């Protein structure tokens, strides 16, 4: 079902954990199955000095999180912004069609973390970000009530 690369990242995920004094935090939820991915970044001189993730989700969700952290660690924020969901999936040697939505989470969570760092994240506290992402009304992780994804 999964490529070797996916299984390798799933079995040995890179950069797992949280950064308590992170400069930016991005949380993304999967509206279809209701899973969660959270990315923490530490920024120095416009570079991603450190990055960690936490994921509640399937094998593909774990592998894409792990892969995205590996792809952008040490990169500039501008470079990190160019990493797309598609690129993450490709770097993993592809994902099963039904799992393609999982790869959306990783890059999106990263971009949100950068937004958060750059202050575009509407100056929300981490707590309220979490609340927003998990509340059924905002639809990010209401799971079943949420509208189906565009793809």
Partner 1 sequence: MMNRRPIYLDHAATSPLHPKALEAMLPYFTEKFGNPSSVYTIAQEARKALDEAHDKVASLLGARPTEIIFTSGGTESDNAAIKGVALAGRDWGDHIVTTNIEHHAVLHTCNFLEKQGFRVTYLPVDGDGLVTPAQVAAAVTEKTLLVSVMLANNEIGTIEPVAEIARAVKEKSPRTSVHTDAVQGLGALPVDVNRLGVDLLSLSSHKFRGPKGSGILYLRRGTPFTPQQSGGTQERNRRAGTENVAGIVGTAVAMELAVTEREKSAPRLAALRDRLIAGIEGSLEGVRLNGHRTQRLPNNVNFCFEFVEGESILLNLDFLGIAASSGSACTSASLEPSHVLLAIGVPVETAHGSVRFSLGPENTPEDMDYVVKALPGIIQRLRAMSPLAHQPR
Q: Which residues bind ligand FES (CB under 6 A)?
A: 30, 33, 35, 57-58, 60-61, 99, 102
Dihedral angle computed from the Cα positions of residues 11, 52, 142 and 89, in that order, rounded to the nearest 10 degrees: -60
Does the footprint of partner 1 cover residue 112 (CB under 8 A)? no
Question: Among the options 48, 102, 106, 113, which is catalytic?
Answer: 102
CA distance 16 to 117: 20
Q: How far is the CB of 38 from partner 1 (least distance, A)?
A: 4
3-state helix, strand, coil in the chain (%, to 5): 40, 20, 40
Catalytic: 58?
no
Q: State how far the Cα of 48 lies from the Cα of 111, in Å rounded to an integer.
A: 12
Encoded one letter per residue, x for contact with partner 1 by CB under 8 A and - for no contact, window 20-59 reads -------x----xxxxxxx---------------xxxxxx
Total number of residues that touch partner 1 (CB under 8 A): 29
Residues involved in catalysis: 33, 102
């Amino acid at each position: 079902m999964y490529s070797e690369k996916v299984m390798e990242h799933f079995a040995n995920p890179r950069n797992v954990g949280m950064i308590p004094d992170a400069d930016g935090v991005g949380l993304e939820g999967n509206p279809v199955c209701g899973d969660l991915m959270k990315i923490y970044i530490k920024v120095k001189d416009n570079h991603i000095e450190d990055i960690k993730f936490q994921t509640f989700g399937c094998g593909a969700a774990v592998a894409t999180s792990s892969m995205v952290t590996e792809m952008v660690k040490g990169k500039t924020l501008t470079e990190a912004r160019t990493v797309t969901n598609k690129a993450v999936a490709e770097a993993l040697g592809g994902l099963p069609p039904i799992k393609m939505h999982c790869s959306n989470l990783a890059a999106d969570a990263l971009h949100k973390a950068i937004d958060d760092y750059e202050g575009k994240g509407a100056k929300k506290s981490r707590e309220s970000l979490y609340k927003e992402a998990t509340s059924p009304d905002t639809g990010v992780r209401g799971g079943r009530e949420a509208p189906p994804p565009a793809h």
